Amino acid sequence: MPDALELISRDAARPPYFLAIDVGGTNLKFGIVDDNGHTLGRCSVRTEQEKGPEDACQRMNQVGRKLAIDCSVDMDDVARVGLATPGTMDVAAGMLLQPHNLPDWWNFPIRDHLESVIGKPVSFANDANAAAYGEYWVGSGAEFRSMVLFTLGTGVGGGIILDGKSVDGEHSHGSECGHMYVDSGPTARMCGCGQAGHLEAYVSAKAVVQRTREALPRNRQSTIADRLEAGEELTPLLVAQEADRDDRLALEIVMETAMYLSLGVVNMMHIIDPDAVILGGAMNFGGHATAVGRRFLERLRRDVRMRAFPALVDVTYIDFATLGGHAGYIGAAGIARSHYQS
Amino acid sequence: MPDALELISRDAARPPYFLAIDVGGTNLKFGIVDDNGHTLGRCSVRTEQEKGPEDACQRMNQVGRKLAIDCSVDMDDVARVGLATPGTMDVAAGMLLQPHNLPDWWNFPIRDHLESVIGKPVSFANDANAAAYGEYWVGSGAEFRSMVLFTLGTGVGGGIILDGKSVDGEHSHGSECGHMYVDSGPTARMCGCGQAGHLEAYVSAKAVVQRTREALPRNRQSTIADRLEAGEELTPLLVAQEADRDDRLALEIVMETAMYLSLGVVNMMHIIDPDAVILGGAMNFGGHATAVGRRFLERLRRDVRMRAFPALVDVTYIDFATLGGHAGYIGAAGIARSHYQS
């Protein structure tokens, strides 16, 4: 049974509709989205990746059709299906290659298989690129012509929207903004991918935890140390909470994260020069909802101002994403819609 | 009088023709280019920037028309004019803003002014982006769908071609690949733009000279030292010559340059994921024409192989540009042609 079925008012809902599925290592998120990017209903089920991709495609069909019924949408009015998955992948071929968190799904032609199971054309996209498209379509980037999204989570991903399209790259490796070098000096930090000096090694959730852990021995008076001694787990949320209570070390870690992130943001401003740079993902120290999240954003903007070409600082919008964990399925629906229209 | 008028066989030349002008701080380069990217004739005159942009536009008109006559091309068959200039600029508005090497041309509406003087529609482009378009149209990138160009000279510029178009950016600062951070560590080098750690601070001609100068006191046996003591000027060409004679320091500098450049190349592979990365500009240690140039390229490819996502290393073409100093006017003609066609 789907978890967390949410039905949203379908007043003003307008066909064609799009069924979108965002595949993660833990959950499959489903949404029925209308032509304006409005969600009629959404739900999620466990991925159960170990059952393999054929089983998952069967469940995508069952859960998707059930969701359409729950939303009072006739499947005949569902024009296309949007499917977002983590990489590695071959977007053009519709193939999963070796996604890290889906080890039992490797080298699987998921687009064509899902098409045959569900009986609808499927648009296939990288999950971070789909999230970028979602924010561009109806989220934080909706007022802009071009946009770069950083997704800050356990790792760091990205998406670039130019001329209304996601920059997927010729080999499905475009917009991997977490894996750009921002440091090649003697103190460069090791990235999860095995290279030193990538942005992800500084601003991912893992990196925030790692930097905090390294700084603790020099900052024993930090309230972070007290909470760890009480048995709590060190997380970016814990750091954010202590920063909100003005713990000096916690604040330093947050501000240092903003400084490192500014290197990546400025690189994308100098390479892509978009209208907007949007920060998605859960590793945002609370975003606009907390004082420390707002200070994080302020510090990022300040550091970008110090580092970017002066002509860009007042004309490049920098803010948090607004769609949260829904960006992926909404963007997958948006990409399906763009394929339907063309 | 134009310098260096070169007339090239016009067998198979095919209208429409495009008059293209590449503006540099020293020279204005002119070319008459046909619909296939074939140059019928080219010449150059001194920029004489101190006479101001109105005077230059008059000379562009005179020299351009004279070149058309020399090429036996009727100006009625010249469909558009392509104009490439250094930035800063506002491409959409047709404005020069504050180009460093054209101090007497600041804040000048050069596109519209040239249109009124020459009586033809003018397509306006950044010079590095035009060079990228030229290499993409008929140069080293001609077989590829997408391409990133690094221009290695006194500074480092770049151009990105995606979907057949140059990534100019929303504020005319796209594709500034020299000004991406590749180092933010304690030993990061100062860039000409005032920031530390940009790619340009490692791989420009100025950076090569600077790194050599710093290394010389530790390498007094280097033949570079002998030549400097004999009164020669330290240049990348001198370093390349001594590297070709197996001077250890000179070779180290060349290989180190390739290593630094690999950081920028890998960043662009992970952000754009193009079919091809092309190295233009004069700072190429001789390119394919010399053994050291070929070793520079080999080392770059090796370092990219070590650093890039494995899926990309065998499918991303990396090579020198082929159009040399002509890429700018050829690309300006190509951009004019793309505007004429659309």
Question: pLDDT tens, A34-59?
Answer: 999 999 999 999 999 999 999 999 99
Residue B49: DSSP 8-state: G
Question: Which of B90, B114, B134 finishes a domain?
Answer: B134
Please answer yes or no on whether B273 and A174 come within 8 Å at the CB atom: yes
Does B40 map to a domain?
yes
Instruction: Compute how many other C-beta atoms are within 10 angstroms of the C-beta atom of residue A184.
Output: 23
Please answer yes or no on whether B174 and A268 come within 8 Å at the CB atom: no
Does A135 map to a domain?
no
Query: For residues B173 and B159, is the Cβ–Cβ distance under 8 A?
Result: no
Please answer yes or no on whether B184 and A183 come within 8 Å at the CB atom: yes
Q: How far is CA A121 from CA A115, A329, A336, B152, in A?
A: 6, 16, 9, 46
Name which of B262, B270, B277, B316 to mutate to probe chain A: the one with the most chain A Cβ atoms within 10 A of its Cβ: B270
Q: Which residues of A touch B194 (CB under 8 A)?
A: none
The answer on B314 and B169 residing in a single domain is yes
Helices H / strands E in chain B, number of each: 11, 13
Does B26 map to a domain?
yes
**pLDDT at res. A5:** 78
The answer on A171 and A115 residing in a single domain is no
Q: Which of B134, B81, B86 is nearest to B111 (CA)?
A: B81
The answer on B165 and B118 residing in a single domain is no
Name which of B129, B156, B163, B170 to mutate to probe chain A: the one with the most chain A Cβ atoms within 10 A of its Cβ: B170
Please answer yes or no on whether A176 and B97 come within 8 Å at the CB atom: no
Q: How far is CA A188 from CA A158, A201, A260, A263, B185, in A?
A: 21, 9, 12, 14, 7
**Is a pLDDT exceeding 90 seen at residue A28?**
yes
End-to-end alpha-carbon separation of chain A, Å?
Answer: 35
| Amino acid present at A49 | Q
Q: Which of B272, B338, B167 is nearest to A158 (CA)?
A: B272
Strands (E), B127-233: 147-152, 156-162, 165-166
B29-64 per-residue burial string, b: 16 or more CB within 10 A, e: under 16: bbbbbbbebbbbbbbbbebebeeebeebbebbbebb
Q: Which residues of B touch A187 (CB under 8 A)?
A: 185-186
The Cα–Cα gap between A262 and A315 comes to 16
Q: Which residues of A touch B182 (CB under 8 A)?
A: 181-182, 184
The answer on A159 and A121 residing in a single domain is no
Structural domain containing residue A64: 3-127
Please answer yes or no on whether A171 and B311 come within 8 Å at the CB atom: yes
Cis? peptide before A99, omega within 30° of 0: no
Burial class (CB in 10 A: 0-12, 13-18, 19+), A83: buried
Does A291 map to a domain?
yes
Q: Which residues of B touch A97 (CB under 8 A)?
A: 311
B168: which 2 tokens?
Answer: 């100019």
Q: Which residues of A touch B181 (CB under 8 A)?
A: 181-183, 263, 266-267
Q: Which residues of B touch A181 (CB under 8 A)?
A: 181-183, 263, 266-267
A134: part of which helix (H) or strand (E)?
A: helix A127-138
The Cα–Cα gap between A102 and B311 comes to 18
Name which of A168, A183, A270 to mutate to probe chain B: the one with the most chain B Cβ atoms within 10 A of its Cβ: A270
Query: For residues B79 and B17, is the Cβ–Cβ distance under 8 A?
Result: yes
Please answer yes or no on whether B184 and A182 come within 8 Å at the CB atom: yes
Average pLDDT score, chain A:
96
Name which of B203, B267, B306, B318 to mutate to probe chain A: the one with the most chain A Cβ atoms within 10 A of its Cβ: B267
Tell me which residue has tokens 């499905």: A172
A1 — pLDDT class (breaks 50, 70, 90):
low
A54: which 2 tokens?
Answer: 């054929």
Tell me which residue has tokens 């993660």: A24
- Which chain A residue shows the shortest CA-CA distance from B171? A273
Name A147's Cβ contacts closer than 8 Å, sequence gap at least 6: A132, A135, A136, A141, A160, A161, A274, A275, A276, A277, A278
The Cα–Cα gap between A18 and A31 comes to 8
The answer on A262 and A160 residing in a single domain is yes
Residue B309: DSSP 8-state: -
Q: Which of B327, B274, B336 is nearest to B129 (CA)?
A: B327
The answer on B247 and B151 residing in a single domain is yes
Tell me which residue has tokens 């200039």: B85
Q: Which residues of B touch A168 (CB under 8 A)?
A: 273
Please answer yes or no on whether A88 and B311 come within 8 Å at the CB atom: yes
**pLDDT at res. A7:** 80
Q: How far is CA A229 from CA A214, A224, A232, A233, in A?
A: 16, 9, 7, 9
Does A340 map to a domain?
no
The Cα–Cα gap between B263 and B184 comes to 13
- Which chain B residue shows the shortest CA-CA distance from A187? B185
The answer on B277 and B162 residing in a single domain is yes
End-to-end alpha-carbon separation of chain B, Å?
Answer: 35
Quote the crossing angle between the two packed helices B205-215 and B248-271, to the nearest 10°: 140
Q: Which residues of B touch A158 (CB under 8 A)?
A: 271
Q: Which residues of A touch B171 (CB under 8 A)?
A: 273, 311-312, 315-316
Please answer yes or no on whether A312 and B173 come within 8 Å at the CB atom: yes
- Which chain B residue shows the shortest CA-CA distance from A98? B311
**Using one digit for the tens of pLDDT, what is the confidence trace for A203-258?**
999 999 999 999 999 999 999 999 999 999 999 999 999 999 999 999 999 999 99
The Cα–Cα gap between A204 and A274 comes to 23
The answer on A168 and A277 residing in a single domain is yes
Query: Which of B162, B169, B182 lies at the smallest CB-CB distance from A273?
Result: B169
CA distance A132 to chain B (A): 14
The answer on B73 and B42 residing in a single domain is yes
Query: Which of A172, A193, A312 lies at the smallest CB-CB distance from B171?
Result: A312
Q: Which of A246, A252, A247 is nearest to A228 (CA)?
A: A247
In 3-state terms, what secondary structure has residue A31?
strand
Q: Which residues of A touch B177 (CB under 8 A)?
A: 270-271
Query: Which of B181, B183, B309 lies at the smallest CB-CB distance from A266?
Result: B181
Does A81 map to a domain?
yes
Structural domains in chain B (count): 2
B165: which 2 tokens?
Answer: 């178009």
State the Rg of chain A over Cα: 20
Query: For residues B270 and A173, is the Cβ–Cβ distance under 8 A?
Result: yes
Phi (first) and psi of residue B20, to 5 degrees: -125, 145
Name A125's Cβ contacts closer than 8 Å, sequence gap at least 6: A82, A83, A84, A85, A91, A133, A166, A168, A331, A332, A335
In 3-state terms, what secondary structure has residue A289?
helix
Residue B233: DSSP 8-state: P
Does B336 map to a domain?
no
Query: For residues A254 and A239, is the Cβ–Cβ distance under 8 A?
Result: yes
3-state secondary structure A204-250: CHHHHHHHHHHHHHHCCCCHHHHHHHCCCCCCHHHHHHHHHCCCHHH
**pLDDT at res. B232:** 98
Percentage of chain A lying above the pLDDT 90 cut: 94
A12 — pLDDT class (breaks 50, 70, 90):
confident
Residue A121: DSSP 8-state: -
The Cα–Cα gap between A44 and A25 comes to 12
In this prediction the pTM is: 0.96
Tell me which residue has tokens 């307008």: A14
Q: Which pairing describes strands B95-96 and B89-90: parallel, antiparallel, or unpaired?
A: antiparallel
Query: Which of A162, A182, A263 lies at the smallest CB-CB distance from B167?
Result: A162
Q: Which residues of A touch B175 (CB under 8 A)?
A: 271, 273
Please answer yes or no on whether A275 and B176 come within 8 Å at the CB atom: no
CA distance B196 to chain A (A): 9
A299: which 2 tokens?
Answer: 């510090």
Question: Which of A70, A98, A127 finishes a domain?
Answer: A127
Q: In chain B, which stretches have pLDDT less than 50?
A: none
CATH of the domain at B265: 3.30.420.40
Tell me which residue has tokens 């997408």: B146
Residue B285: DSSP 8-state: T
The answer on A284 and A165 residing in a single domain is yes
The answer on A70 and A145 residing in a single domain is no
The answer on A162 and A52 residing in a single domain is no
Does A328 map to a domain?
no
CA distance B90 to chain A (A): 10
Name which of B203, B271, B273, B277 to mutate to probe chain A: the one with the most chain A Cβ atoms within 10 A of its Cβ: B271
Q: Which residues of B touch A195 (CB under 8 A)?
A: 307
Q: How far is CA B35 from CA A297, A323, B18, B81, B326, in A?
A: 50, 47, 8, 13, 16
- Return the percent helix, strand and coil in chain A, to nearest 5: 45, 20, 35
Please answer yes or no on whether B273 and A181 come within 8 Å at the CB atom: no
Please answer yes or no on whether B174 and A309 come within 8 Å at the CB atom: no
The Cα–Cα gap between B83 and B96 comes to 12
In the A/B pair of chains, how many CB contacts fall below 8 A?
148
Strands (E), chain A: 3-7, 17-23, 27-33, 39-46, 78-85, 89-90, 95-96, 122-126, 147-152, 156-162, 165-166, 276-280, 317-320
Please answer yes or no on whether A173 and B269 come within 8 Å at the CB atom: yes
The Cα–Cα gap between B45 and B27 comes to 6
